[in-house]
Structure 1
Amino acid sequence: MKIAVLKEQAAGERRVAATPETVKKFVALGADVAVEQSAGEAACCSDAAYRDAGANVGSRADVLAGAGIVLAVQGPDPDSLNGIEPGSWLVAGLNPFGERARMDRYAEMGIEALAMEFMPRITRAQSMDILSSQSNLSGYKAVIDAAAEYGRAFPMMMTAAGTVSAARVFIMGVGVAGLQAIATARRLGAQVSATDVRAATKEQIQSLGAKPIFVEDVKGIEGEGTGGYATEMSDEYKKAQAELVSSHIAKQDIVITTALIPGKPAPRLISDAQIATMRPGGIIVDLAVEQGGNVEGAVPGEIVTVHGVKIMGHRNVPSRLAADTSALFARNLFNFLSAFWDKDAGKPVLDTEIGDAVRVTKDGKVVNERLLAAG
């Protein structure tokens, strides 16, 4: 089995889908690994390191020739896959809902496309979950970015000249990214509070030393969707949450939003009127900006100032920590493929529970039920 590792071509993408560490592990399984030239350069993985790990390094055409499995971070442009063999697996973060036309092209090319973001959130698949591994570092980076832009100190400082108050940080959306943001802000000495529509997160917030901000006694407080994700809430809940957030956000120095609903635009959490209540010099980091944004006025790829408050809308936050996020992403892919590796067949053989969940295209058709249901 030949495994091809592609150099990312999407603008601003610095990650790579395999590192010398995982290449060595694939070789140990009996696979031949071919890495496109300079694929890992931006993630601190040199071509020499890949060769030392046992990979061949060459052009995209050489890498794709005869490959049964192709690894990438983002779904590659179908036009860049000339020479890929029908039946080959493409294993990557494919953004199937946002790139439906691309999924159709993969099907037409006979590619079996496996979307890693569709990995079911079950115990045995935790080590394969790219959303969790990448979100973890995104939550960390959001706090570091906010601290870099914030014109004041994070921790409380008592000096002979007086006391500096701790920054007040509010985290909206307590998934993997939100929890890491809480932990990071706490480590930096901030006074942290957090909210989520899922009642189960209340104890998680408290366990990290933050203050939970929750709507009480309103229908729909559970907010738990399938796979541990949030779901859309009732109008009654949304109204009560908006009132609670408005009163709380006015007292905050930094707000970080992380809320996403799979297959749908990001929910709007902060309005322009709410931004206006924050004091000048405040910071908002919108980690959902590429999916429509949680914050009114957030602009993908830009830092804008509204009512004296900076709204940060960095694209592809995981790519801004490319060495670490690549290492985790690469392990996710290795854990996935190695878990199903059949020594006799010399390749992975998927089961139905995970295989059917991640498989988007097969035999010339789009076959994923989630994608087909979305239309």
Structure 2
Amino acid sequence: MILGVLKEKLNENRVSLVPEVVKQLAQLKVNVWVEAGAGKQAWYTDEAYLEAGATIQSREKILQEADILLSIHQPDKPEWEQVTAGKTWIGVYQPLYKAALMQDLAAKNFTVFSLDSIPRTTRAQSMDVLSSQANIAGYKAVLLAANTYSRYFPMFMTAAGSIPPAKVLILGAGVAGLQAIATARRLGAVVEVFDTRPAVKEEVLSLGAKFVEVEGAADASKAGGYAVEQTSEYKQQQEAKITQAIAKADIVITTAQIPGKPAPILVTTGMLEAMKPGSVIIDLAAATGGNTSQTKNNTSVVYNNVTIVGNSELPSSMPADASKVYAKNVYNFLQLLIDKTGQFTLNFEDDIVKGACITHGGQVTNERVLQSLGVTA
């Protein structure tokens, strides 16, 4: 079996496999082909891949001859249309947002595994790309905020007077939010956190932050770590609480997303107008519309003297470590698909394999994607 690693598109610095993992795959009797320069932006050289046992090949040869194709983002249509039917693709393809594309890939008889659809269970933690990449995003969000903000994060007592610590408000205490709390606290900020899930309160407090509570949240225990739709009454209470907290905040980091739907607007135009001049918002949900009314994806805008940075690709700004943990996630998933002889095998009795599989046998197979297409499984 040949496993092909493709170089990512422009503006994506990560790579699907790193040399360390190539060595592990060689022990599973897998032939790994890596596109020339695929790891360059993540500081993994072609020489390092060769030493690990990979073969450096052209993109064209990999696309035509590899059995499994690894690409974090799906290639452009003119390219995948030229690929032989029946190939297997593994990456992070956002199938709930790109359901029509999944239908096109199914029509090509591709088997598509999207790692962002892996069930977020205890057994699947070692394959959870959303968590591994969100951890990096939360860390980088705080560093980006500190770099953008025009004042100190920690409190300083100087001969010239005292400087108060920055007040950071984090909306969403998932993996990214919790890492953002820890990083902001290390930098000396005072941190408040809002989340619709009361169960995260203990974690928030353990990191030294204050938890902003709103009563009556809908149960999110079965939402895989994501936010869920809330009642209109709850949303009114939520808005009132956030309005109070955001008016005092210097930095706001937003992380809330709902699978298959636009990100919820947590920061309204009215809230933005009540914020302090010079405040900074880092919106990690920008790719799905953003958590503020003024967010623009991959762009920084200034609204009413508040800088809003829309960036959902922060892991790509730390490509070496982001690629390392992503590659380990991929390796752990591949072990479910590769038998002792190094051959590709599918076991749809495995809940992880079934959950991650989006298309197979010419059909869209994932229940959630079918629902988004309005099709009953």
TM-score interval (norm. to shorter): over 0.9
Q: CA deviation at 1:230?
A: 1.9
Q: Which residue identity does 1:210 align to in structure 2?
A: A
CA distance in 1, matches of 2:129, 2:77: 22
Q: Cα RMSD between the aligned structures? A: 1.5
Q: Secondary structure, in 3 states, of the residue corresponding to 1:192?
A: strand
CA distance in 2, matches of 1:104, 1:223: 29
CA distance in 2, matches of 1:356, 1:51: 33
The verdict on how the C-alpha distance between 1:248 and 1:82 changes in structure 2, with shifts beyond 3 A counting, is closer
Does residue 1:324 correspond to 2:341, yes or no? no
Q: CA deviation at 1:110?
A: 1.4
- The percent identity for this pair of structures is 44
CA distance in 2, matches of 1:207, 1:361: 42
The verdict on how the C-alpha distance between 1:25 and 1:348 changes in structure 2, with shifts beyond 3 A counting, is farther
The answer for the alignment partner of 1:48 in structure 2 is: 47
Q: Which residue identity does 1:338 align to in structure 2?
A: Q
The answer for the alignment partner of 1:205 in structure 2 is: 204
The answer for the alignment partner of 2:8 in structure 1 is: 8
The answer for the alignment partner of 1:354 in structure 2 is: 352
Deviates more, 1:346-355 or 1:129-138: 346-355
Q: Does the CA-based 8 Å contact 2:99-2:372 persist in structure 1?
A: no
CA distance in 2, matches of 1:339, 1:369: 20
Q: CA deviation at 1:48?
A: 1.0
The answer for the alignment partner of 1:301 in structure 2 is: 298
The answer for the alignment partner of 1:363 in structure 2 is: 361
Q: Does the CA-based 8 Å contact 2:247-2:271 persist in structure 1?
A: yes
Unaligned segments of structure 2, at least 5 residues: none
Does residue 1:34 correspond to 2:33, yes or no? yes
Q: Does the CA-based 8 Å contact 2:285-2:312 persist in structure 1?
A: no
Q: Does the CA-based 8 Å contact 2:29-2:342 persist in structure 1?
A: no
Q: CA deviation at 1:294?
A: 0.3
TM-score, normalised relative to structure 2: 0.95
Q: Secondary structure, in 3 states, of the residue corresponding to 2:113?
A: strand
Q: Which residue identity does 2:6 align to in structure 1?
A: L
The answer for the alignment partner of 2:168 in structure 1 is: 169
CA distance in 1, matches of 2:76, 2:57: 19
Question: Which of 301, 309, 328 in structure 2 is aligned with 1:312?
Answer: 309
CA distance in 1, matches of 2:47, 2:98: 34
CA distance in 1, matches of 2:2, 2:310: 39
Q: Secondary structure, in 3 states, of the residue corresponding to 1:228?
A: coil
Q: CA deviation at 1:85?
A: 3.9
Q: Does the CA-based 8 Å contact 1:153-1:166 persist in structure 2?
A: yes
CA distance in 1, matches of 2:62, 2:218: 51
Question: Which of 338, 362, 368 in structure 2 is aligned with 1:341?
Answer: 338
CA distance in 2, matches of 1:222, 1:81: 40
Q: CA deviation at 1:12?
A: 1.1
Q: CA deviation at 1:182?
A: 0.4
The answer for the alignment partner of 2:288 in structure 1 is: 291
CA distance in 1, matches of 2:336, 2:360: 21
Deviates more, 1:69-78 or 1:263-272: 69-78
Q: Which residue identity does 2:50 align to in structure 1?
A: R
The answer for the alignment partner of 1:229 in structure 2 is: 226
The answer for the alignment partner of 1:373 in structure 2 is: 371
TM-score, normalised relative to structure 1: 0.96
Does residue 1:138 correspond to 2:137, yes or no? yes
Q: CA deviation at 1:346?
A: 2.6
Q: Does the CA-based 8 Å contact 1:67-1:84 persist in structure 2?
A: no
CA distance in 2, matches of 1:213, 1:273: 20
Q: Secondary structure, in 3 states, of the residue corresponding to 1:179?
A: helix
The verdict on how the C-alpha distance between 1:155 and 1:114 changes in structure 2, with shifts beyond 3 A counting, is same
Deviates more, 1:59-68 or 1:322-331: 59-68
| 1:261-280 deviations in Å (ceiling 9; x for gaps) | 11111000001110111111
Q: Does the CA-based 8 Å contact 1:199-1:221 persist in structure 2?
A: no
| 1:201-236 deviations in Å (ceiling 9; x for gaps) | 1111101110000113xx335444422322111111
The answer for the alignment partner of 2:101 in structure 1 is: 102
| 1:92-137 deviations in Å (ceiling 9; x for gaps) | 0011122223212211221100010000011111010110011110
CA distance in 2, matches of 1:87, 1:100: 19
Task: List aligned pairs for 1:59-78, cutoff 5 A.
Answer: 59-78=58-77
Runs of 4 or more off by more than 4 Å in structure 1?
A: none
The answer for the alignment partner of 1:243 in structure 2 is: 240
The verdict on how the C-alpha distance between 1:299 and 1:166 changes in structure 2, with shifts beyond 3 A counting, is same
